[in-house]
Chain A
Amino acid sequence: MVYKSEKSLIRENLSGFKKFTLGAFVTLSAAIIGLSPAVLTAGDNGPCIECHTKPDKLKTAEKAKINPVTGEIKVVSMVIDEVTFKASAHGGEDFFCIDCHQDLDGVDLTDGHKPNLKPVDCITFCHDDPADEYLQSSHVKLMKEKNKDVPTCKDCHAGVTYHYTSLGEKSPRDVPRGTDPLHRKLTIDSCGECHQEYLDSYRNNAHGQVTALGHTDTDVPVCFDCHGKHKILNSADPESKVGKERILETCGSCHANANASFVKHVEHPQIKNLNYYKKLLAAVKNARSNPADLKTLLKNPQTILCVVFVMYIGILAFTFSAFGLHSLLSWFAVARDELKRKGHADEEQH
């Protein structure tokens, strides 16, 4: 906690510092910028925008970025779409390019700046809170304990680099917000890249079928609405947003008066998951040697859902084959009679 308060102190000081520098530059702006237009200073994005909106003014308009963990290489455009940047979370009046790209502070631009900047540090001075939460999540626990590759900031927030838009990157928006429908839609796919089975079962539920049709506003939940954004915990953890202690509150945030029975609803039905049926069959087979297995499965609400689903597939198959055949046969029988009748009518006419 102490660590946290120190950090926020630094942040406050920083913003104070920012205001001071801004004030200084307001009074001296004309002189300084006029005398040395080739030196980058805080308080002015002009020199950056001048080149970074025009690919032909840049020595390198595209750059390869290598992911240090996966070794994946991405081509990133160095061109900024000014309008998109200004509309982004970092595009307000208070933000300047070198707030993030700090190693460019005071750089002489006469020959252009060196091409390789240090990676932007989002956490130290600004985003320490979400980082703190993220470090407590089940993802990080998995990384620490089982040495697994887990998503880190930029895997989900790839959009942060989107002010280098238009070429190469996958999201057409800049820095994503939790309320932005497009961002919400993209997060479903991001989570689904690893949690495919959960994405599939989500699609079979009431919430997932609506988002599948393209409606991803805040009135229909996507993954992070129920599971949390940074501090995502395993559902077995009582402190998880879908855990025992908080599920009422989580469901209740949309469903007023959600009750203890209501929150037992299965959000990820296994009705189309072959593995669940295999498990069921195996448990039935071993019912004598290991009755406990079958008992737990029978107590699992998924089992009834699967039985109902299979029953309906049976009803559908039977109804359409039996009555389909019946209506085909009766259709052809009527056609046959009609032809005969017409034949007779023709004979009578002749």
Chain B
Amino acid sequence: MSLKERGMQMKSSINYVRFSLFHRFCHFLIIISFFGLVLTGMPLAFRSYGWARWLYELFGGYPTAGFIHRICALITFFAAFIHFLFLFICVSVQKRKGFFWGPGSLLIQPRDIFDIVGDIKWFLGIGKRPDFDQWIYWEKFEYLSLMWGTLVMAVTGLILWFPVQFTKIIPVSVASVVDLPGIALIIHRYEAILAAGFIFTIHFFHTHLLPEKMPVDEAIFTGKITEAEFRHERLNQFKRLESQRQLENYKVAPPSLFVSFLTRLFAVPILITGLLMVGFMFSALLVWAI
């Protein structure tokens, strides 16, 4: 579908809010910091390949690439901080319900198991696409693994950033068996490969590069989805809001063509960069395997 066609369709249809400005801003921060971290860090993990040297030099080599890496880490910390501050305010101050349980929760719910079974049936062609609610089970998995991954990367990254200070707090007898910086380096390296590989393949293909979304799911940038998309992707949520008579509150004007264009201008090069990166990483695996 061309941009113009899609624009026509959007203009002609009713749109709903899917992501608030806050969430879109967080996603933007994560994109910027994640790419900065991956592009300056991955060369170290794939140090024996030509592309790694080229990429490392592109970001200023040692120690400049390291500084960029740390600045991006600070941006990630900031994004994580405002995210949890947001959750805290919503739950404790505004007393909003449904964060930990129910259809609007990002935590695993019993109905997710039925969704998984339904999804597998749909994959195999013996059922229709399940009707999902606000968060699909693999979206929850991605969210939770992002939280867990950020924690792991932050802790190990800080140990590598301040090895002298961190080892100081453990006694020598322990340090001679448990090599804290050594463990941190291994975890940091392979968790990074896991995270980058996951985002650049699974997140990309689940969310942005689906045949119905190609090349990008604009909702996370514009914050809006059309009614058709809403019904198709999250029929349960749509019906729930309809029955609660809340649907009207979510109605918004469709995104302008300009915003749509800007979204693609930003997202497409980023998606290509990620795919190239995972291509390089995968080629290294092939070289190693052969």
Residues on A lying within 8 angstroms of B by beta carbon are 203, 205-206, 209-210, 212-215, 217, 219-220, 255-262, 264-266, 269, 271, 299-301, 304-305, 308-309, 312-313, 315-316, 319-320, 323-324, 326-338
Q: With A205-B185, A209-B44, A213-B52 known to touch, is A316 a contact of B172 (CB < 8 Å)?
A: no
> What are 21 A-to-B residue pairs whose CB atoms are below 8 Å?
A206-B181, A212-B47, A213-B47, A213-B53, A213-B56, A213-B61, A213-B62, A217-B62, A261-B168, A262-B163, A262-B175, A265-B163, A265-B167, A271-B186, A299-B176, A301-B178, A316-B190, A323-B202, A324-B201, A330-B123, A332-B123
Interface presence of B48 (CB below 8 A): yes
In the assembled complex, the Cα of A213 lies from the Cα of B46 at a distance in Å of 9
Please tell me which one of the listed residues B52, B120, B175, B182 contacts residue A261 in the complex, with CB atoms under 8 A apart: B175
Please tell me which one of the listed residues A217, A300, A320, A330 contacts residue B197 in the complex, with CB atoms under 8 A apart: A320
The distance from the CB of B121 to the nearest CB of chain A, in whole angstroms, is: 10
The segment from B91-99, B205-213, B236-244, B246-254 found at the interface with A is B205-213
Interface centre among A269, A299, A315, A330 (most CB of B within 10 A): A330
In the assembled complex, the Cα of A259 lies from the Cα of B179 at a distance in Å of 13
The distance from the CB of B262 to the nearest CB of chain A, in whole angstroms, is: 26
Interface presence of B67 (CB below 8 A): no
Please tell me which one of the listed residues A205, A210, A257, A264 contacts residue B172 in the complex, with CB atoms under 8 A apart: A264
User: What chain B residues lie within 8 Å of A299 (beta carbons)?
Assistant: 176-177
Are the C-beta atoms of A206 and B185 separated by less than 8 Å? Answer: yes
The distance from the CB of B290 to the nearest CB of chain A, in whole angstroms, is: 17
User: What chain A residues lie within 8 Å of B62 (beta carbons)?
Assistant: 210, 213, 215, 217, 219-220
User: What chain B residues lie within 8 Å of A214 (beta carbons)?
Assistant: 53, 56-57, 61
Which residue of chain B has its CB nearest to the CB of A320?
B197
Are the C-beta atoms of B190 and A265 separated by less than 8 Å? Answer: no
Are the C-beta atoms of A301 and B176 separated by less than 8 Å? Answer: yes
Given contacts A214-B53, A261-B172, A336-B125, 5 further A-B contacts (CB under 8 A): A266-B179, A309-B190, A320-B201, A323-B198, A330-B206
Interface presence of B171 (CB below 8 A): yes
Q: With A304-B179, A308-B186 known to touch, is A331 a contact of B210 (CB < 8 Å)?
A: yes
In the assembled complex, the Cα of A261 lies from the Cα of B120 at a distance in Å of 51
User: What chain B residues lie within 8 Å of A336 (beta carbons)?
Assistant: 125
In the assembled complex, the Cα of A260 lies from the Cα of B170 at a distance in Å of 10
Are the C-beta atoms of A264 and B176 separated by less than 8 Å? Answer: yes
What sequence of 0s and 1s flags, for each residue 213-249 of chain B, a beta carbon within 8 Å of any chain A beta carbon?
Answer: 0000000000000000000000000000000000000
User: What chain A residues lie within 8 Å of B53 (beta carbons)?
Assistant: 213-214
Interface centre among B170, B176, B182 (most CB of A within 10 A): B182
Q: Is the interface of A mostly helix, strand, loop or mixed?
A: helix
Would you list the 5 A-B pairs with minimal beta carbon distance, nearest first? A261-B175, A312-B190, A212-B47, A215-B62, A329-B123
The distance from the CB of A177 to the nearest CB of chain B, in whole angstroms, is: 20
In the assembled complex, the Cα of A261 lies from the Cα of B119 at a distance in Å of 51
In the assembled complex, the Cα of A210 lies from the Cα of B190 at a distance in Å of 17
Interface presence of B144 (CB below 8 A): no
Interface centre among B170, B186, B193 (most CB of A within 10 A): B186
The distance from the CB of A162 to the nearest CB of chain B, in whole angstroms, is: 26
Please tell me which one of the listed residues A210, A305, A334 contacts residue B179 in the complex, with CB atoms under 8 A apart: A305
Are the C-beta atoms of A266 and B182 separated by less than 8 Å? Answer: yes
Are the C-beta atoms of A257 and B164 separated by less than 8 Å? Answer: yes
Please tell me which one of the listed residues B43, B171, B181 contacts residue A265 in the complex, with CB atoms under 8 A apart: B181
Which residue of chain B has its CB nearest to the CB of A299?
B177
The distance from the CB of A319 to the nearest CB of chain B, in whole angstroms, is: 6
User: What chain B residues lie within 8 Å of A324 (beta carbons)?
Assistant: 201-202
Are the C-beta atoms of B190 and A327 separated by less than 8 Å? Answer: no
Are the C-beta atoms of A316 and B206 separated by less than 8 Å? Answer: no
In the assembled complex, the Cα of A210 lies from the Cα of B210 at a distance in Å of 38
Are the C-beta atoms of A312 and B198 separated by less than 8 Å? Answer: no
Interface presence of B110 (CB below 8 A): no
Which residue of chain B has its CB nearest to the CB of A264?
B175
User: What chain A residues lie within 8 Å of B191 (beta carbons)?
Assistant: 312
Are the C-beta atoms of A269 and B182 separated by less than 8 Å? Answer: yes
In the assembled complex, the Cα of A31 lies from the Cα of B114 at a distance in Å of 106
Interface presence of B88 (CB below 8 A): no
CB-contacts of B60-76 with A (<8 A) = 61-63
The distance from the CB of A198 to the nearest CB of chain B, in whole angstroms, is: 16
User: What chain B residues lie within 8 Å of A266 (beta carbons)?
Assistant: 179, 182
User: What chain B residues lie within 8 Å of A335 (beta carbons)?
Assistant: 211
In the assembled complex, the Cα of A329 lies from the Cα of B52 at a distance in Å of 32
CB-contacts of B66-111 with A (<8 A) = none
Q: With A258-B164, A327-B202, A331-B210 known to touch, is A308 a contact of B187 (CB < 8 Å)?
A: yes
Are the C-beta atoms of A337 and B129 separated by less than 8 Å? Answer: yes
Q: With A304-B179, A304-B183 known to touch, is A326 a contact of B211 (CB < 8 Å)?
A: no
In the assembled complex, the Cα of A328 lies from the Cα of B193 at a distance in Å of 20
In the assembled complex, the Cα of A177 lies from the Cα of B197 at a distance in Å of 42
Q: With A213-B53, A266-B182, A330-B119 known to touch, is A260 a contact of B172 (CB < 8 Å)?
A: yes
